[in-house]
Amino acid sequence: MKKVRVRFAPSPTGPLHLGSIRTALYNFLFAKKNKGKFLLRIEDTDRSRYKSGAENYIIKSLKWCGLTVDEGPAMKGNYGPYRQSERYEIYKKYIKYLLANDFAYYAFEKKNKKRNYNRKKLDLNISNEKTFQKIINGIVFVIRFKIKKFFVLKIKDFLRGKIIMNFNSLDEKIIIKSDGTPTYHLANVIDDHLMKISHVIKGEEWLSSFPINICLYKYFYWIPPIFLHLPLILNPLGQGKISKRKILKFPIFPLGWKDKKTSQKYKGYRESGYFPEAFLNMLVFLGWNPGGTKEIFSLKNLISIFKIEDINISSAKFNLKKAEWFNCKYFKKKTSKEILFLLKKELKKRNIFYIKIKNIFLLKIINFLIKKCSFINEIINKTIYFFKSPDLNEKFVFKKNLKRFHSLIWIFLNEKKFNILNIKTLIQKLDLYKIQKRYSIMQLLRISLVGSLKGLDLFFIISIIGKKESLKRIIKFINYCL
């Protein structure tokens, strides 16, 4: 097999979705398994759909996933530039070649609403003299790819085998738009050839343009790379593919994204608390399986066992519960100190570290919950009362019979050494009486400290937040009720 060079070639038209990242992952694994190169190429010829910040988002997403790029816009390489918008001069000589050899033609046309374009029906096969006269007169034109009368076109996909296409079923695509910029069909083929791409691994949605690619390779007398079109990722119901144009109830982007036009914010897997290694482990199984029952693989493990022959031809259905399961597995592998680092990082990001708690106490909190959680966010959400005073709820307001609850203030004030055991004994004595025939002293104390009737052991909470903070919350609750 010749030296492996693969590329991930997204368009900067918005955030990457699951299918795009999976494409990048499979390309990366295949390259690394075969000691090849993994390229990033930005296909930004469609300026009408270009989104500011999208290229930076692509680079950040690959970095978060650990998919290191060997050549691309952000680093040196021998086959650049790696943005198509910077390669227009390169394309010009190939366009001239296609026109000179009757493989392409100028088309002076109104916008054609039909999906398939037929040159003969519109009688656009005019003489060269008339063509040049129209160009001189400033009449707007495009350049279209000409389909030669192959009886049949035999093409081969690595997964699907031989595909036979009749030339009558092919559309004569625009390869140069009216503004002079190339379309995907032309730029993609030229770039893959010049960058010495050995294998093109991309989504199934590009199958329709596959015959056009092969025709262009034939016209240029180039040997095409090996093509492999990946199956779709379907939504959880199995009804339709996952697409970034249809936002679902679960994350479909690796990182969060804010649409500048609508100001709409979308959560990514990173913001939802997923570890990148868990995200990749989940993603790799959406269309690939090495066999056996083992499902947990590090990126290093995946590189060593990955084979493109193991990619399935049928579409894979996304399963959110399975994604959470993967994260849970990686969460359980973390040490308490690793969780502590991530917990503090997330608290700082959320700006909710209002109450300073020593690391020794934070570790105690983590050890209480580490077996019950799958995400850092879960630990924070279940223990938010440790880090800030709770918001009080109207349903817990009492207008009378708080006299006995007032005595808690004196219990805390008089406990000079703040012995939890003593406080517990005194509160339990008070707790012999119910307030408003519904809540006990202990329950009201929990409401004042936690903001609800849920949470960890009450006296463990008091021991963590301390006397001063506990007293502050009790007084706040009483004042709120009065």
Q: Mind telling me the catalytic residues?
A: 244
| Number of residues written out for the chain | 482
Distance between alpha carbon 153 and the CA centroid of its chain, in Å?
A: 37
- Phi then psi for residue 232, to 5 deg, are -75, 160
Rounded distance between C-alpha atoms, residue 175 and residue 104, angstroms: 9
Q: Which residue has the tokens 């190429």?
A: 41
Phi, psi of 181 (to 5 degrees): -90, 145
Closest alpha carbon to 245 in 8, 9, 11, 17: 17
With contact defined as beta carbons under 8 Å apart, do 13 and 47 qualify?
A: no
Beta carbons of 407 and 430 less than 8 angstroms apart: yes
- φ and ψ at 39, to 5 degrees? -105, 150
What SS3 class is residue 56? helix
| Token pair of 51 as six digits | 């989104």
In angstroms, the Cα distances linking 253 to 9, 17, 61, 369 are: 17, 5, 9, 28
Contact 214, 155 (CB under 8 A): yes
Strands laid side by side in the 104-107 sheet: 104-107, 142-145, 174-176
Alpha-carbon distance 339 to 135, whole Å?
67
Query: Between the CA atoms of 276, 281, 286 and 289, what dihedral angle is there, to the nearest 10 degrees?
Result: 160
Q: What ranges in 229-269 are assigned the alpha helix state H?
A: none
- The residues facing 37 across adjacent strands are 5
174 bridge partner residues: 144
Instruction: Give SS3 for 443.
Output: helix
Asked if residues 60 and 50 have their Cβ atoms less than 8 Å apart, the reply is no
Query: Quick check: 217 and 247 in contact, CB under 8 A?
Result: no
Report the DSSP beta bridge partners of residue 266.
257
